[in-house]
Structures are given as C-alpha cells and as structure tokens.
Amino acid sequence: MSRKEHIMRSWIPVAAALPILLAGCSSSAPDAAHVSSAAPSHAATQLAAAPRASNASLAHFRSSAFGFRLDYPKGMLEQRSFTGGYISNDAWKAYASPDSKGTPVVALILPGSDDVSRAALRIGASRDPQSVNDCLKAPSTARGASGTRSIHGARFTYFEAGDAAMNHYMHTHSYRLVHDGACIAIDLMVTGTNPQVYDPPRKPPFTQDDAFARLQQALRGFHFTL
C-alpha cells in the first residue's frame, strides 16, 4: 500500500464522524441561546424566584367575587376585616383617601405580631369607578423602589411607601392592578411603635426586613382564577 493510500484510509473514519460531532455542537447552541433570551428580569420575577412551600404546609383562601386564590403558610391568622392603628386604618387599601370606596377582602397576620410590631398581608378590592380610575396611582407617601412586578403572569404596579408620627410607623410594599373591572390592592404592611419608648425597652418580635421577606413568601401563593 502506498503512503497516499494509507493516509486516505486513515482519514475516512474521522471524516465520517465529523458530521456527528458538528451536529452535537450545533444542537447545544440554540438551547443555550434560548435559555439566555428567555431569562426574565429580576424585578419582574422576584416573587417567583424562591421555592414554594409544600401543599401540606399551606392554607387556602379563595375570593369568588374578585376571582383570585391565595395559598399561604399555615400559622398566619386569616381575618376578613382590617384592623386600624395609630397610623394605619381599616380602609380597603393602604393610604386610601377618606372618600375612597372599596372592600377589605382578606388580611393575613404574621405569627408573633404584637403591639410593638405587627405585619400583615392585606388584599382589598373595588369596582367603584373612581377607585378603578385611580387604582395605579401611588400615594404622596411613596418612596423607595417602584415599577412593575409580576405574580404568576399578572403584572402589577409596585411601589413602597411609609409614614411615621409620635414614635409610630407604617411601611408598605404595595401592588396594584385592574383585573376584571376591579382594582385589586395588595399591601404588605409592617406597623409598630418605637420599642425604646417602653420602660424597660421592648424587643420587636421580628425585624422589618424579616417581616417583609415572610410576607413576600405568602404572596407567592397569589394567583387569579378568572
């Protein structure tokens, strides 16, 4: 066998395998590109990023009137009315004007809440034309982060707000959306008193950061049914 024939015979297996190797490379590239292009922004998916609790550890609330369901951690106290305080009130949404019309739907109170610090997830709704028209407007007390946030595909207007007076405070992370003709108002609310005014000073049951993190965990169970 000549040296040329030996080289040609050695090349045949490599040439036959080359399309297979190239096919393997080309098939992985679109997958990588697809994952990259499909990756949503952090702001829009913050609520979907953390793992959900198992069904066995969840309680359930459903509103047929406003078409939503909330699967939340057991241990939170469910109330059908809102409790007011020194700064907060029992209106259907946080910072509602005195003439604003709406319905408190459900409040979930964080375990450990007391008169030093109280945390709650509130959901209110309204079909009043003026309330629907003003649904996405942030209050004058809005400060900090704002924009849009998605909860299971529903894109809400988001803002943070706060108020303080006479050693009392209220901070909220709020979500607003018009759905099926109604303004849906979700408020993650932490209220309390300066613990140093007590004698002796008292210790809050949780920090504000911890309270908001746990309320956000509960909010991950919200989704529309209509």
pLDDT in tens, 60-90: 999 999 999 999 999 999 999 998 777 777 9
The verdict on domain 45-224 having CATH code 3.30.1330.10 is: no
The token pair that represents 164 in the structure block: 């303080």
pLDDT of residue 80: 93
What whole-number distance in Å separates Cα of residue 114 and Cα of residue 110? Answer: 10
- CA angle centred on 86, ends 84 and 89, rounded to 5°: 30
Three-class secondary structure of residue 50 per DSSP: coil
| CB crowding 174-191: b at 16 or more within 10 Å, else e | bbbbebeebbbbbbbbbb
CA nearest to 69, candidates 179, 180, 221: 221
Q: Along the chain (226 residues), what's the average pLDDT of each consecutive run of 10 residues? A: 44 41 37 32 45 77 98 97 80 94 98 96 99 97 95 98 93 98 98 94 96 98 96
Is residue 79 within 8 A of residue 106, CB to CB? The reply is yes
Q: What are phi and psi of 5, to 5 degrees?
A: -65, -35
What's this model's pTM, rounded to 2 decimal places? 0.76
Domain boundaries, the chain: 3-39, 45-224
Q: What are phi and psi of 140, to 5 degrees?
A: -65, -20
